[in-house]
Amino acid sequence: MKLLVIGFGQCGGRIADEFARLGIKARLERKINIITGVFAVNTDVADLSGLVTIRPDYQHRVLIGGNKTGGHGVGKINELGAEVARDDGDKIIDALKETPQFAETDAFLLIAGAAGGTGSGAIAAITQKLKERYVEKPLYNLIVLPFQHEEETEGRTIYNAATCLKSAYLVADAVFVVDNQRYISKNYSIRGNLSKINSLIAEPFYNLLCAGEETRPQYIGSRILDAGDIIQTLAGWTVIGYSRSQPGRMKNPFDFRDKMAEGQKGVQLINNAISELSVRCNPADAGRGLYLISAPAKDMDMSLVKDIGAHMKRIAPEAIIRTGDYPREKGSLNVTVILSEFSGMKKIVDYFTQTIDLIATIRRKREGIEIEHSDLADAFKDIPSLL
């Protein structure tokens, strides 16, 4: 599957930078193309300057809202982010049209952080613009939820996340939801943590995108998971997970203990991938799903595929599940899992509930201030002026 990737705001731009790196990696290591173009869109010049892999020209790093923000961002006001995206949306579309491989694109992936201003506001606005213009291409959003400490210290974070998620859900064909908190590590510095998180968010897409674009016969699976399968799987709220292990060889193929351990390998892989899903959720609520096994050809057999498929069905009994194998990896056994078409997720519902409560609180305060101001005005008119 070939993606055209657009990152909005600081968070979205940095994750898009990781997708640009994956595109280069696929071309160098596997001689295939999975990324037709990568763009970063921002209202802040400094954020655009901090990217590493995305081309540094003005076509690929697009500054919007310069007249309104002076190139210094929107200050977490996502309504302003949406406004400047609508006003300067044609600038983004013009940049996309100049992409040499644009016609090969299977789908768009738009990325943003839910908590900020530019990305949170712009992602749905541009998704809508692209949807109106390119009706034949699926449009997916990848939205990163805020850290727990951000939620606890600023009400605006909750409000931005809720409005961003709702708007994206209304216009995108599917919304990948990623919870920052699930990737955090105490062993890294702040900068190191963010860099590692961005890498972990992008990594599960690598084999998934490569599998359907492979051209060398020895690396083409017996069941190819291509763009059509992915498009038919993705709908509504979506999560992605990834697991890797060393294949290992049985010490004695005739020993029942070694044989049992070999049989449990696929089950353990799926369980690990489910435990690493991008947002904590109940897999049984998914309406669609897929999994891709990637390993050296000699380490994939029918019993492994059967065990993984049966366990996946137990985990998500109501889901229509697609599967594929990709005999590409060296020295490791990988599984990528996507679960999609969730009717709801607790994390998202919590954002909506908290935002409704927040809006009600603000409204009550505003009404109280209006009464106070009215009383103050009545008293004020009786005070003599010195002017």
pLDDT per residue over 130-183, tens digit each?
A: 999 999 999 999 999 998 888 887 778 999 999 999 999 999 999 999 998 888
Q: Alpha-carbon distance 93 to 132, whole Å? A: 12
- Distance CA(242)–CA(302), nearest Å, equals 21
Contact 280, 321 (CB under 8 A): no
| Residue 196 in this model has a pLDDT that exceeds 90 | no
CA atoms within 13 A on the CB side of 304: 23
pTM above 0.85, yes or no: yes
Per the CB < 8 A criterion, the answer to whether 33 and 27 are in contact is: yes
pLDDT tens-place string over residues 267-288? 888 889 998 899 999 999 999 9
Provide the token pair at 266. 């696929």
Domains of the chain: 3-203 (3.40.50.1440), 238-342 (3.30.1330.20)
Q: In what order do the strands lie in the sheet with 139-145?
A: 61-63, 35-42, 3-8, 107-113, 139-145, 174-179, 236-245, 333-342, 288-294, 320-326
**Predicted confidence band of residue 236 (pLDDT cuts 50, 70, 90):** very high
**pLDDT higher than threshold 50 for residue 371:** no
pLDDT above 70 as % of the chain: 88
Beta strands (DSSP E) in the chain are 3-8, 35-42, 61-63, 107-113, 139-145, 174-179, 236-245, 288-294, 320-326, 333-342
How far apart CA 285 and CA 339 sit, in angstroms, is 9
Residue with tokens 């290591």: 29
What average pLDDT does the structure give for the chain? 86
Residue recorded with tokens 């029942």 = 256
> pLDDT tens for residues 326-357?
998 777 889 999 999 998 888 998 888 888 88
Residue 342 backbone phi and psi in degrees, to 5: -80, 140
